[in-house]
Amino acid sequence: MFDIYDFFNQLTELGAKIRLDVGQPDIPVDERIISALIESIKKGKQLMFQPEE
pLDDT tens for 32-42 read: 988 988 888 89
Length of the chain: 53
Q: Are 19 and 11 in contact (CB under 8 A)?
A: yes
pTM above 0.95, yes or no: no
Domain ranges for the chain, please list them: 21-46
CA pair distance 16, 10, nearest whole angstrom? 9
Instruction: Classify residue 43 as exposed, middle or buried by CB count within 10 Å of its CB (0-12, 13-18, 19+).
Output: exposed
- pLDDT (0 to 100) of residue 37: 82
